[in-house]
Chain A
Amino acid sequence: NAGVMQNPRHLVRRRGQEARLRCSPMKGHSHVYWYRQLPEEGLKFMVYLQKENIIDESGMPKERFSAEFPKEGPSILRIQQVVRGDSAAYFCASSPRSLTGEAYGYTFGSGTRLTVV
């Protein structure tokens, strides 16, 4: 039973390019969360998605960032026209259901470390 799979593990982009980060949730999980960890900081919530729906994107920057979780395939976090300040570790987590306490303590993937040069 594979855990939350994120790829790539490391991603280097030049300023102005696009970054696409992928997250495959655990089998049977239909809820995905994206968090960002800036250097020497804790994780900050970005977005919460269910299949084909964005539930909460209150932590997403207003511009250049978008997320999707299609009916088929992994969840994608997309960053357009990356800047140096986007360099961070991006973590995905998944859970089987919401609105219950058991949905918490969700499982995190190993993250994608984005470096913008």
Chain B
Amino acid sequence: AQSVTQPDIHITVSEGASLELRCNYSYGATPYLFWYVQSPGQGLQLLLKYFSGDTLVQGIKGFEAEFKRSQSSFNLRKPSVHWSDAAEYFCAVGAYGATNKLIFGTGTLLAVQP
């Protein structure tokens, strides 16, 4: 069965510091992988997605993620965090097929210190 693990529940970084949020997935074939961001009381906004090809994916707001098949990981990175990046981040995996449903991780809550 597909699953997604986000091992870090809370992360605090200083503004201007680099960021890496971890995501590990379990899936038998090449997965479709996504990162979403959710601000308090809001819906989810897609940051980036990986389907195939280049394993380093660029997204919006200066985020990028790297697909590593050998480690079953899809970690999200940003070289310099801004205070407005404080939010909850969700990694998700999707399976090609009839249902297109996404399996979400439990999320990582990012706090940014001034």
Interface range on chain A (Cβ under 8 Å from partner): 20 to 34
**In chain B, what residue has the closest Cβ to A110?**
B43
Which A residues, 71 to 100, have Cβ-Cβ distances below 8 Å to chain B?
91, 95, 98-99
Q: Which of B32, B42, B104 contacts A43 (CB 8 A)?
A: B104
A111:B43 contact, CB within 8 angstroms: yes
Contact partners of B32 in chain A: CB under 8 A: 101, 104
* Contacting residues of chain B (78-108) with chain A, CB-CB under 8 angstroms: 90, 92, 94, 96-107
**B43 near A104: Cβ-Cβ < 8 Å:** no
B74 in contact (CB, < 8 A): no
A52 on the interface (CB 8 Å rule)?
no
Query: Is there an interface contact between A104 and B94, defined as CB atoms closer than 8 Å?
Result: yes
Judged by a CB distance under 8 angstroms, whether B67 is at the interface is no
A-B contact pairs, 26 of them (CB 8 A): A4-B43, A33-B100, A41-B107, A42-B90, A42-B105, A43-B90, A44-B104, A45-B101, A45-B102, A48-B100, A55-B99, A56-B101, A58-B99, A58-B101, A59-B101, A91-B43, A99-B98, A101-B51, A104-B49, A104-B100, A105-B46, A105-B49, A108-B36, A108-B45, A110-B42, A110-B43
List A contacts of B4 (CB < 8 A).
Answer: 42
B44 contacts A by Cβ under 8 Å: yes
Interface size on B, as a range, is 20 to 34
> Shortest beta-carbon distance, A31 to chain B, in Å?
7
Q: Does B34 touch A at the CB level, under 8 Å?
A: yes
Taking beta carbons and an 8 Å cutoff, which residues of B are in contact with A? 4, 32, 34, 36, 41-46, 49, 51-52, 90, 92, 94, 96-107
Q: Which residues of A contact B98 (CB under 8 A)?
A: 55-56, 98-99
The contact of B102 among A55, A104, A111, by CB within 8 Å, is A104
Q: Are B99 and A56 within 8 A (Cβ)? A: yes
Q: Which has the most chain A C-beta neighbours within 10 Å: B99, B100, B102, B106? A: B100
